[in-house]
Amino acid sequence: EAQVTQNPRYLITVTGKKLTVTCSQNMNHEYMSWYRQDPGLGLRQIYYSMNVEVTDKGDVPEGYKVSRKEKRNFPLILESPSPNQTSLYFCASSWRHPSYEQYFGPGTRLTVT
Amino acid sequence: DAKTTQPPSMDCAEGRAANLPCNHSTISGNEYVYWYRQIHSQGPQYIIHGLKNNETNEMASLIITEDRKSSTLILPHATLRDTAVYYCIGPSGSARQLTFGSGTQLTVLP
């Protein structure tokens, strides 16, 4: 089954404790992306990757890092999480770039206390 | 950037057609219009996209005006499971991103 998976689905952590949210797709897609969703602010893109070893900033990249060492994986790294990073996070992928249908993961709900 | 404008909310009776409008007056000639929906807090789901011609798939129809300044997503027979936030999206200036706006909350009423 074609899918995007994210782990963990729920995470409660404390300020400053490094964490990684994993994202994996099984569709051999070149394009992958991370979004965060906050009430009243909608979906905002954090980082995206056009292919392996190619990443670029989205609209809200501050406080986040990403890597794309393999085509299927695109982890989101919070080196020093802060409470303002409490949010619902989605990973997405598409075949070549976002002009093609994007498949979204189920979401990761992160709470930073 | 191709900015889109949608009504914040709409209601529709179950079994009737749901017509969701979107204005995208700044869209350029080679930019597509995309529609996604998000049911509660699930990951958004692709519905359809189009450039200038009307499009139809198993989920919906997309009607784009001739001047391309607006479009309408049509769900021909809305069900309760179609209750969701519907996003009309145009690409950002870089063409490497899709910028989601605030969307339309569609509520299908029994």
Window 5-24 of A: residues touching B by CB (8 A cutoff) are none
- Tell me whether B99 touches chain A (CB under 8 Å): yes
Measured CA angle at B96 (ends A111, B73), to 5 deg: 85
**pLDDT tens, N- to C-terminus, chain A (113 residues):** 889 999 999 999 999 999 999 999 999 999 999 999 998 888 899 999 999 999 999 989 999 999 999 999 999 999 999 999 999 999 999 988 777 788 999 999 999 99
Q: How far is CA A9 from the centre of its chain?
A: 12
Which segment of A17-21, A74-78, B63-67, B95-99 scores lowest on mean pLDDT? B95-99
DSSP H or E segment with residue A48:
strand A42-51
Q: Which of A107-111, B40-44, B73-77 has the lowest mean pLDDT?
A: B40-44
User: Chain A contact for B57, CB < 8 A?
Assistant: no
Lookup: tokens for B25: 């007056």
pLDDT above 80: residue B2: no
Residue B37's closest chain A neighbor by CA?
Answer: A104
CB of A113 less than 8 A from some CB of B: no
**Closest by Cβ to B42, choosing from A45, A50, A107:** A107
Query: Which chain B residues touch A103 with a CB distance below 8 Å?
Result: 46
Distance CA A98, CA A110 (A): 25
Q: Do residues A110 and A25 touch, judged by C-beta distance below 8 A?
A: no
Q: In sequence order, which residues have a C-beta less than 8 Å from that of residue B101 and are 6 or more positions away?
A: A42, B3, B4, B5, B6, B87, B88, B89
Structure token pair of residue A33? 């992306």
Q: A15 with A110: CB under 8 angstroms?
A: no
pLDDT above 60 for B1? no
- For residue A106, the chain B residues in CB contact (below 8 A) are 42-43
Answer yes or no: do A43 and B100 touch at CB < 8 A. yes
List all residues of chain A from 91 to 110 with a beta carbon under 8 Å from chain B: 92, 97-99, 101-107, 109
Of all residues in chain B, what percent carry a pLDDT higher than 90?
A: 65
Residue B25 confidence (pLDDT) = 80
